[in-house]
Amino acid sequence: MRLALLIPLYAIVAVLIIYTVRHYLFTLNRLFGRHRQPYVDIGTAAWPRVAVFVPCHNEERVIAQMLDALLACDYPERQLVIIPINDRSSDGTSRILADYAGRFPVRVAPFHRKGGKPGKAAALKDAMEASDAAIHLVFDADYLPGRGLIKQLVGPFFDPEVGAVMGRVVPMNVNKTLLTRLLDLERTGGYQVDQQARMNLGLIPQYGGTVGGVRRTALIHMGGWRDDTLAEDTDITFRLILAGWEVVYQNRSECYEEVPENWPSRIRQIKRWARGHNQALARYWWPLLKRPAHLRRWAVVDGLLLLGVFAVGPLLLLGWVLAVALYYMGVQLSVGVYVILAVAMYSTLGNFAAFFEVAAGARLDGSRGRIRLLPFLIVGFLVSLVSVSWATLVQMATFWRKDQLWDKTERHREAGAMIPKETG
């Protein structure tokens, strides 16, 4: 009986150690390694035609500012079309989109969905045919792209191997609550260190579904967006990689986003991410393990670890349960086991970035003060851990269900609210 509990516990501890080592190596690489951002200086080119898709479901609070930001970008006007996807909105979104389409008839071309499957993935799938532009960029409605961002995101597509590009997401509403400050730290660890290190090392940066885009021919090659997934970003990332395309992360291409400001919003968001990510894990772990000839061994290893990132949470919880059970059985576990389990609680669950990775990212950002909040990571982690574990359990218990419930992230910004002024 003891062995039946010890073996899985040590297996879980081994997984945690692997992730810890992985994130440590990423941190070292980001701090000291050779930095790769080969496409960021492409400032002059014969810019290809770009369609910017903005999925909207009841986004009246934020969509106007988003469209204003896109219309103000320095991408050649004739080469850019903005396609807000009005996904069965019941608020003032339709009215706002009609107003913009009226004022900018060529540049803004709303796509209206009256029915069909709910969710961002389904919306993108339906709207894909609305444009034959070479590049399809996607932004969530609450994002605020800067003037130069579109060019920066398009630059990597001059590389014929690049199938998708991802920029860096920067929380705008950091100062609202403890949660927003913790999520800001999570994003910092995830983008400034994690994603960039994977780019540096030639591993698999992840396309994150917003502040990024996909090459249209790659999308067609893949069969388009899948509407049976809650994480269309993770899904397309692995389909592209497995098919021989490259995904590029560009740290310089930053864009403001709005993070959840209250715990229920955060819980809904992370549950959706977990379910979507677990779907991708179930679908792509075996094709990845079979290692297509074009993928390096380490890219495969990292890809598997990336797929498993949301599964680690429930594993950690299971590890604690096993540790408790073994405690009652009088098994004296090594102190190291408890230390590993304890240290893992000071991570950020969205990407399982360890506390030192978060701290390194914040230091590179020049944001030293917020590193003092590191002990509070356990606060956010506990909530995320329980939420993700519950979502995974429910998902496993209802795996036969084909329909996916899409929980939209709540918007908090007031329409017309001030955004941080640019500098530089």
Partner 1 sequence: MPGKRARPELERTRKLEAMRVRGVRGGVITPHRSMVGLPWTAFRLLTTLLLSLGGLLLLYVSLPGLGRFWQEIFERTIHFLGLPVPLGDQVWTVPGGLEFTLPVLAVVTPLPGTREIWIAVLVSVLVFALSFLLPVRFTPLRYFLRLLAIVEGSAIAFFAFSTESFPYRLQDHVFILLSAGLVVMALVPLVLGLTLHVFDLAFWKKLLLTLAILAHLAVFIPLQVLVHIWLVLHGSAVLMPVLFLVFGLLLDVLVFVAFYGWALSWQGELERRDLSPPAHLAMPARRQPA
Partner 2 sequence: MLPFLALLGLTLLWLLLPLLPAFRELVRPTDVAPLKVVDRSSGYVAYFARNFRQYLDRQMAALPGEAQVGDYVGKLPDGTQFIRVRKSSQGLTHEVEPGTQNRLVVVDGAMTLQDGETFLMEVYARAPMIGGAGSVYRAIYADRELGLGERSTVLRWAHAGGTMGVGSHSVLRGRITSDQAVVLGANVVFERIGAPRISVGTEHGIPPGDGFAAHPFALPEHAHPIGDHYRVEGDLEIPAGARVTSSLVVAGSLTIGPGAVVEGSVKAHRDVELADAARVRGSVVARRRVMVGDSAWIGGPVIAEERIRLGQRSVVGGPELPATVSAPLIELAAGATVYGQISAPLGARTF
Sign of the CA dihedral 320, 321, 323, 327?
A: positive
Residue list 375-404, contact with partner 2 (CB under 8 A): 375-376
Q: Which is nearer to partner 1, 51 or 323 (CB)?
A: 323
Q: Work out how close the CB of 284 gets to partner 2 at its nearest, in angstroms, rounded to a whole number.
A: 17
Which of residues 84, 110, 118, 171 is near partner 2 by CB under 8 A? Answer: 171
Q: Which is nearer to partner 2, 65 or 86 (CB)?
A: 65
What the block records as the tokens of 67 is 């469209």
User: How far is 317 from 333, CA to CA, in rounded Å?
Assistant: 17
Q: Which is nearer to partner 2, 70 or 174 (CB)?
A: 174
Interaction pattern, residues 246-285, with partner 1; x per rule: CB under 8 A: -----xx-x-------xxx--x------------------
What the block records as the tokens of 211 is 């502040």
User: How far is 134 from 214, CA to CA, in rounded Å?
Assistant: 9
Which of residues 78, 95, 103, 147 is near partner 2 by CB under 8 A? Answer: 147
Residue list 58-117, contact with partner 2 (CB under 8 A): 74
User: How far is 276 from 25, CA to CA, in rounded Å?
Assistant: 27
Which of residues 220, 324, 342, 396 is near partner 2 by CB under 8 A? Answer: 220
Interaction pattern, residues 245-264, with partner 2; x per rule: CB under 8 A: x------x-xxx--------
Which of residues 7, 11, 95, 158 is near partner 2 by CB under 8 A? Answer: 158
Tell the residue number behind the tokens 């715990």, with chain if given.
263
Q: Which region, judged by CB under 8 A, interacts with partner 1, from 42-50, 155-163, 215-223, 333-341?
A: 333-341
What the block records as the tokens of 154 is 């398009």
Q: Residue 162: helix, strand or coil by DSSP?
A: strand
Residue list 285-304, contact with partner 2 (CB under 8 A): 293-294
User: How far is 116 from 88, CA to CA, in rounded Å?
Assistant: 9
Q: Which region, judged by CB under 8 A, interacts with partner 2, from 7-15, 19-27, 82-90, 176-184?
A: 176-184
Residue 147 interacts with, from partner 1, partner 2, none (CB under 5-8 Å by kind) = partner 2
- Outline where 244-334 has alpha helix (H): 263-289, 297-307, 312-328
Helix axes 297-307, 232-243, angle to 10 degrees: 160
Number of helices (H) and strands (E) in the chain: give both, helices first: 15, 8
Q: Which is nearer to partner 1, 220 or 339 (CB)?
A: 339
User: How far is 196 from 167, CA to CA, in rounded Å?
Assistant: 10
Judge contact between 383 and 263, C-beta under 8 A. Answer: yes
**DSSP run (H or E) holding 250:** strand 246-257
Q: Work out how close the CB of 255 gets to partner 1 at its nearest, in angstroms, rounded to a whole number.
A: 12
- In sequence order, the 6+-apart residues with CB closer than 8 A to the CB of 95 are none
Size of the site for partner 2 (CB under 8 A): 60
Query: Which DSSP state fits 114?
Result: -
Query: With binding defined as CB under 8 A, does residue 163 bind partner 2?
Result: yes
Residue 32 CA from chain centroid, whole number: 25
Judge contact between 24 and 354, C-beta under 8 A. Answer: yes
Query: With binding defined as CB under 8 A, does residue 133 bind partner 2?
Result: no
Residue 264 interacts with, from partner 2, partner 1, none (CB under 5-8 Å by kind) = partner 1
Residue list 344-403, contact with partner 1 (CB under 8 A): 345-346, 355-356, 359, 362-366, 368-375, 377-380, 382-383, 386
Query: With binding defined as CB under 8 A, does residue 45 bind partner 1?
Result: no
Tally Cβ neighbours within 10 Å of residue 305.
18
Q: Work out how close the CB of 181 gets to partner 2 at its nearest, in angstroms, rounded to a whole number.
A: 7
Q: Which is nearer to partner 1, 252 or 408 (CB)?
A: 252
Parallel/antiparallel/unpaired status of strands 246-257 and 144-145: antiparallel
Buried b (16+ CB within 10 A) or exposed e, 307-332: bbbbbbbbbbbebbebbeebeeeeee
What the block records as the tokens of 109 is 């071309």
- Residues near partner 2 (CB under 8 A) are 36, 38-46, 74, 146-149, 151-152, 155, 158-161, 163, 170-175, 178, 181, 184, 215, 217-218, 220-221, 243-245, 252, 254-256, 293-294, 365, 367-370, 372-376, 420, 422-424
Residues at the site binding partner 1, with contacts judged by CB under 8 A = 24, 27-28, 30-33, 35, 37, 168, 177, 192, 196, 251-252, 254, 262-264, 267, 323-324, 327-330, 332, 335-336, 338-339, 342-343, 345-346, 355-356, 359, 362-366, 368-375, 377-380, 382-383, 386
